[in-house]
Structure 1
Amino acid sequence: MDHFDTIVVGAGVAGLTAARLLAKAGRRVVVLEARDRAGGRVYTERTDGLVTDLGASWIHGITDSPVASAAEAFGMRMVEFTVGGYQPDSRPIAYYGPDGKRLSDSAARRFADDIHTLDATLLDVVAESAPDASYRDVTEAALAAQGWDEERTQRVREYLEHRSEEQYGAWIEDLAAHGLDDDSIEGDEVVFPDGYDVLTAQLAAGLEVRVQHVVSRVRRAADGVTVTTDRGIFTADTAVVTVPVGVLQSEDFVIEPPLPEPNAGALSRLRMNAFEKVVLRFPTKFWDDGVYAIRQQGSEGRWWHSWYDLTPLHGTPTLLTFAAGPAAVETRDWSEERLVDSVLSQLRRLFGSAVAEPTRVHVTDWQGDPFARGSYAYMTVGSTTMDHDALAAPVDGVLHIAGEATWTDDPATVAAAMGSGHRAASSILGRPIAIDDLWVDGTLPVKGVAHGIRQFSP
């Protein structure tokens, strides 16, 4: 039976961050990863010379972002692509009305102004909301305060529904009133034309990562932890568990004894979302130049309402849309052909016969991934923002939980995962660690290990 100073469960950004910082501090660390690769929900596909990030894509705000600093240190090319947290006018957006015709610039401006007006009211409504209020409750109260006619109100209502879906992959009734409190962006947002997985490859360099080791049980005691996998049993003085909320809540992953409070209560109030990417590459571009996004209003946009132009990344005409919330749930069992036909039918409603069949399609299935069970976590009704940090509270001095769901400031992001891994490592060492230790010096003090991932598989 192998014994380590620390076992890290999961080789995503949180796990690799914790492991790297601990290893650089001289600890003997092993990372146990269920998949046949490191990276977790950072996953890049490379086919025919094209790079497609099927998991994480953005740094949502590079100002004071450790992820941006790491990416720069690792020599990763970054391209500015500011989403703006599903804002109505952060970049040039082509709006199409319920009749399928493009709105004039003045009409689009009036609509965006309505969103800003509503959001200003919403700040106070959310602050005064009841603990069990949903995002639907607070947005309806804010809408009622405007005194608009039904048509105007409905357009903004749709927008708010779509925002909850695209931001958290959750239906508006299921999201806590405070669920978008962290929806703030500092600085430009960027994407990676060479793939986000360059980051995780660099973080994993020199670490002992044992892939295809499916952890089923983590048992803690006063003297340490025992971790059971399908490839054997491991022991350590401490453990960092970084599996997603959906896995933590499943019967396939057991923590013994069960998590105490406040961890258990916080975990019970979080859920994994339904959020999938649909990437469509076309032989020719049929939408207008200089447009960052295409959005349609009205009932036809119930599922497919927003498309993002990724053409500047590689020069290939490419649109990205999302199956989010109800759309992701209801289309989960559809064939790829059926789903793509559904998306194309809406594009053809707007652009007619100019919409050719795509040359390549990527459709994710994070809901069906047993090691993810969704894309990221969201706050259910009754949850508070404090639940993120409460989930991460150290347990009995030996068990630490990290991951995007355990970081209050900007959960559901790579930055949150990195921050949580840094916090776990600092807690285990009992002293502050500079997060830039992740990238200032890439050499790990592991005897006999060449620079590069030490990837073990059965």
Structure 2
Amino acid sequence: MKNKILIIGAGAAGLMAARTLSKSGKQVTVLEARNRLGGRIHTLSDESFFKVTELGAEFIHGDLPVTLNLLNEAGIGYHNANAEMWRYENGAFKENSMVIEDWDLLLKKLNGLEQDTNVWNFIEKEFPGDKYTWLRNSVWSYVSGYDTADPRNASAFALRNEWQHEEMDAQHRIDGGYCSIISYLATECKANSGEIFLNAVVQEIEWKKGNVKVTTDDGSVYEAGQLLIATPLGVLQAAKGETGAIVFTPEIPKYAKAIQQMGFGAVIKLLFEFDTAFWLDRQSHEMADINVDKMGYLFSDEEIPTWWTQAPDHSTVLTGWIGGPAAADKTNTPNTEILEQGLQSLANIFKISFEEMKGKLIAYRIMNWTADPFTRGSYAYDTIEAPVARKILNIPVENTLFFAGEYLYDGTAMGTVEAALTSGLEVAKKMLK
């Protein structure tokens, strides 16, 4: 029992910890609720459509040390995914138009802010009236789209920090997809006698110092000396009785409160494969009046506002993205309806009829991460209370219960796989002490 460790969740954080602990001689058992590994990493690779296309995490945003070291160690390659950012508004395409008017003034006023508040309160107070309508709309779109956060809940201090340290670093995609990292970590864990069980939905954790008993929905019981909880924050925030929700016996009220104080975003991702890359045809060139070949990201005010290509790789796949409150509002929207909203959004942008657009579509996949019971959202963002809550959750409960995940990372790569891997590595080191 002394050497035995249980881990709940086989995403990046859980598997990074499992691999580190098992290599150090610990007896590790990982319980995963899904029928696959990876959590919010979900590469479609062995299907007739969407060859190596990501339903979940997709990019390495910059030269991130833990991710790149792991790739180098595993001998997994990665390639450039830099592409131009365009905008479609008022019937026209605008090349490289990510500059937001009054941005410098916004940062200047943010720098003068002495007490944290939610970013939407700040914006409405400091930038009222018609003059700043565009700025307010841009901030709302950016915070909900990029951070997948609710601007009415997101910390102005945290966003100030993010925006000031934002480097338009190199973007990378992983050869073979993000699942290559997951497979590597799982193989390493198993090579060191680690066990991984799928379809193991944890319902209850009974614990006392130095002893943990975990019960899954099929009545199986697992025991260990220590437990690492590496589920998404959204699952920990689930109400008692909901699918995937976990009951602690005895309760851990201070930790439960901290979990509820953190922000967890909402997102829906759409993958559309077409018979041709119609956005590169002559009509699109003429319409844009410029070279659309380099268009990587396209932002708009459509129902599904954000789209990207696989540029610089040539592909007939378009990825759609909607985050924040607008995605949360669609938690219970059927995929068939989201499919139609996506097609209509593209039809409006490229001035093609809905029926013609639908006729070009040969395959689609929609991942409503917020509706998924074992994720319940996208990734974490900071609320005003989050820094204190994070400190609490990074302290083990009686050296018996530990938490890991991207929401516990405190650095500039928030909400990324890098954040999850870093958290998993750090908590494993803590457990080995």
Out of 124, 129, 136, the residue aligned to residue 115 of structure 2 is 129
SS at match of 1:191: strand
Q: Give the corresponding residue for 1:80.
A: 80
Contact 1:10–1:243 (Cα < 8 Å) also in 2: yes
2:213 corresponds to 1:226: yes
Deviates more, 1:12-21 or 1:276-285: 276-285
Q: Give the corresponding residue for 1:34.
A: 33
Aligned length: 400
Give the TM-score of the pair, scaled to structure 2: 0.84
2:230 corresponds to 1:242: yes
Shift of 1:330: 3.1
2:167 corresponds to 1:166: no
2:383 corresponds to 1:397: no
Q: Give the corresponding residue for 2:5.
A: 6
- Distance in 1 (CA, whole Å) between partners of 2:277 and 2:395 is 50
2:85 corresponds to 1:93: yes
- Distance in 2 (CA, whole Å) between partners of 1:137 and 1:368 is 28
- Distance in 2 (CA, whole Å) between partners of 1:332 and 1:74 is 37
SS at match of 2:365: strand
Q: 1:280 to 1:399 in 2, by over 3 A?
A: same
Q: Give the corresponding residue for 1:452.
A: none
Shift of 1:100: 1.6
Contact 1:96–1:295 (Cα < 8 Å) also in 2: yes
Identity of aligned residues (%): 27
Shift of 1:260: 4.5
Q: 1:289 to 1:178 in 2, by over 3 A?
A: same
The 5 A counterparts of 1:130-209 are 130=116, 133-143=117-127, 150=130, 153-180=132-159, 181-182=161-162, 184-185=165-166, 187-205=169-187, 206=190, 207-209=194-196
**What is the identity, as a one-letter code, of the residue corresponding to 2:323?**
A
SS at match of 1:359: strand
SS at match of 2:294: coil
Moved over 6 A (4+): none
Contact 2:58–2:173 (Cα < 8 Å) also in 1: yes
- Distance in 2 (CA, whole Å) between partners of 1:350 and 1:365 is 23
Q: 1:27 to 1:278 in 2, by over 3 A?
A: same
Q: Give the corresponding residue for 1:282.
A: 274
Shift of 1:116: 3.7
**What is the identity, as a one-letter code, of the residue corresponding to 2:42?**
Y
SS at match of 2:99: helix
Shift of 1:182: 4.0
Describe the superposition over 1:377-435 as per-residue Cα deviations: whole angstroms up to 9, x where unpaired. Answer: 3334x4243433332211111111111111121332111111111121111111xxxxx
Shift of 1:336: 3.1
The 5 A counterparts of 1:41-440 are 41-46=40-45, 47-48=47-48, 50-63=51-64, 65-82=65-82, 92-97=84-89, 99-103=90-94, 112=99, 114=101, 116-125=103-112, 127-130=113-116, 133-143=117-127, 150=130, 153-180=132-159, 181-182=161-162, 184-185=165-166, 187-205=169-187, 206=190, 207-229=194-216, 230-250=218-238, 251=240, 252-261=245-254, 263-287=255-279, 288-296=292-300, 301=301, 303-313=303-313, 315-353=314-352, 356-357=357-358, 358-380=361-383, 382-409=384-411, 410-430=413-433
User: Unaligned regions of 5+ residues in structure 1, if any?
Assistant: 83-90, 431-458
Q: 1:308 to 1:368 in 2, by over 3 A?
A: same
- Distance in 2 (CA, whole Å) between partners of 1:334 and 1:25 is 46
Report the RMSD for the aligned CA atoms in angstroms: 2.5
Describe the superposition over 1:303-352 as per-residue Cα deviations: whole angstroms up to 9, x where unpaired. Answer: 33221122434x32222221212332333333333323222323222321
Give the TM-score of the pair, scaled to structure 1: 0.80
Contact 1:122–1:138 (Cα < 8 Å) also in 2: no
Q: Give the corresponding residue for 1:445.
A: none
Q: 1:93 to 1:248 in 2, by over 3 A?
A: closer
Contact 1:4–1:237 (Cα < 8 Å) also in 2: yes
Q: 1:356 to 1:139 in 2, by over 3 A?
A: same
Contact 1:41–1:372 (Cα < 8 Å) also in 2: yes
